[in-house]
Structure 1
């Protein structure tokens, strides 16, 4: 991928789909990348809404469930994705950040045995749902998972944006508007995503050689943090303490994102 004149081009050198939004202001210099979910299940619906003048909302990119990217405005033009927001002394993050909307239903409601998107009423299949607590309210709920295609393409774009615009950080809408917003939510692997974009992710790739527990400390007496890891689980080694290794599980596992804990080193091999 590359950026030319603030427009995104894919790996084949073709400009990604571009549908200009009228919901924008003038030029600016971005400092942050803000990750959102659309709170609905349709890419076309999200794009139509974000390009509708009556919506008074927009973003720079929309990432569909299949990974297709649509750009709504050049990256150096203010879009209206953040709303009332603050971050590290800045007020109104629209004028300081690039916004990416990922098509995802977000927090779900359960009706009988079905998981439903409360915004568009669509049913989300159970195999696309993780039950987890949001970091801001601690309330356990069902959340639609992000597809591997979405995470992959969004990561590539984020890496490129950080490099091109020397961005200071990648944050969620739930960071800058914690009372109002819950996106991108606990199903999004923000910790490892951010680390990858800034080149701080571990280079010590490991995998489990047997089914093994991940614990809160370096010893068998510490509590387990999740269900046992199956043999072949890929983890990032961070540090060692005696016969134990501190690891992080990238992405989502057992309802937790970027789970970090301790595994007996004898059950780890190079990935």
Structure 2
């Protein structure tokens, strides 16, 4: 892929589908990349919505489950994807970020024995659903999984955007508007996605695995609450920092239906 004049071109050299949204601002220099889900299972509805002035919403890209990309504005033009938001001392992330929407039903509900997207009422097969607790919530819910092709294309695009615009970070809508939004949700592997997009090499990771079942806690000590149920033996983690005999880790495996768990583990239970 490549970017020419702030427009995206696919690996075949052709420009990706471009549908100019009326919901856009002025030119700007982006600093961050914000990931979203569409909260719908089909791309067509989101594309049509972004083309309506009354929507007052848009994004730079929509990436479908099969990896198909639609662009709505040049990357140096503000789109309206973030809403009321804050991050790292900045207010209103529309003016500072590129927005990517991944076609995904988000949080699902059970109707008639089937998992259903509450927005477009489409059913989602059981094998495309995970049960997980959102990091900003206290109970488990059903979430629509992202496809491997969709994630692979999104990583490729994100990596290109980070390089082209020297972006400082990749964040979720749930990070910049935690009291309003839950996307891209626990089905999205933000930790590994961010690492790849920002160019962190596997060989630079301080990789370990758990030697036995072990608790992962909210602080460096047994007095702190656990983040989730015990991690199984041989769970892969990377150490991000150390404090005494404790290590703050990112869990690289999906455990108990959760992606990108972070917390503190006693170092004596970690082995190479």
Q: TM-score, normalised by structure 1?
A: 0.82
Alignment of 1:137-148 (within 5 A): 137-148=137-148
The one-character-per-residue Cα deviations of 1:174-215 (angstroms, maximum 9, x if unpaired) are: 11111111100111111111112222353269899xxx8576
In the alignment, the residues of structure 1 paired with residue 129 and residue 92 of structure 2 have an alpha-carbon distance, to the nearest angstrom, of: 32
The one-character-per-residue Cα deviations of 1:45-104 (angstroms, maximum 9, x if unpaired) are: 111111111111000000001111111111000000011111122111111100000000
Q: Report if aligned partners of 1:189, 1:250 keep a CA contact under 8 Å in 2.
A: no
> What is the match of residue 55 of structure 1?
55
In the alignment, the residues of structure 1 paired with residue 230 and residue 127 of structure 2 have an alpha-carbon distance, to the nearest angstrom, of: 19
> What is the match of residue 34 of structure 1?
34
> What is the match of residue 257 of structure 2?
255
CA, structure 1 residues 58+130, in 2 after alignment: closer, same or farther (shift >3 Å)? same
Cα displacement (A) at 1:216: 3.8
Q: How many residues in Structure 1 have an aligned counterpart in Structure 2?
A: 257
CA, structure 1 residues 202+226, in 2 after alignment: closer, same or farther (shift >3 Å)? farther
In the alignment, the residues of structure 1 paired with residue 15 and residue 214 of structure 2 have an alpha-carbon distance, to the nearest angstrom, of: 44
Q: Report if aligned partners of 1:41, 1:103 keep a CA contact under 8 Å in 2.
A: yes
Q: Report if aligned partners of 1:192, 1:251 keep a CA contact under 8 Å in 2.
A: no
In the alignment, the residues of structure 2 paired with residue 206 and residue 92 of structure 1 have an alpha-carbon distance, to the nearest angstrom, of: 37
CA, structure 1 residues 236+251, in 2 after alignment: closer, same or farther (shift >3 Å)? closer
Q: Report if aligned partners of 2:41, 2:104 keep a CA contact under 8 Å in 1.
A: yes
In the alignment, the residues of structure 2 paired with residue 16 and residue 59 of structure 1 have an alpha-carbon distance, to the nearest angstrom, of: 15
Q: Report if aligned partners of 2:229, 2:256 keep a CA contact under 8 Å in 1.
A: no
Q: Report if aligned partners of 1:28, 1:96 keep a CA contact under 8 Å in 2.
A: yes
CA, structure 1 residues 129+205, in 2 after alignment: closer, same or farther (shift >3 Å)? farther
CA, structure 1 residues 101+34, in 2 after alignment: closer, same or farther (shift >3 Å)? same
The one-character-per-residue Cα deviations of 1:90-120 (angstroms, maximum 9, x if unpaired) are: 1111111000000000011112421111101
> What is the match of residue 129 of structure 1?
129
Alignment of 1:141-220 (within 5 A): 141-203=141-203, 216=216
> What is the match of residue 220 of structure 1?
none
In the alignment, the residues of structure 1 paired with residue 193 and residue 150 of structure 2 have an alpha-carbon distance, to the nearest angstrom, of: 12
> What is the match of residue 13 of structure 1?
13
CA, structure 1 residues 84+145, in 2 after alignment: closer, same or farther (shift >3 Å)? same
Point out where structure 1 has 5 or more consecutive residues left out of the alignment. Answer: 218-222
SS at match of 1:257: coil
Cα displacement (A) at 1:253: 4.1
Point out where structure 2 has 5 or more consecutive residues left out of the alignment. Answer: 218-225
Q: Report if aligned partners of 1:63, 1:70 keep a CA contact under 8 Å in 2.
A: yes
> What is the match of residue 73 of structure 1?
73
SS at match of 2:55: coil
RMSD over aligned Cα, in angstroms? 3.0
CA, structure 1 residues 19+248, in 2 after alignment: closer, same or farther (shift >3 Å)? same
Q: TM-score, normalised by structure 2?
A: 0.82
Q: Report if aligned partners of 2:206, 2:239 keep a CA contact under 8 Å in 1.
A: no
Cα displacement (A) at 1:258: 2.3
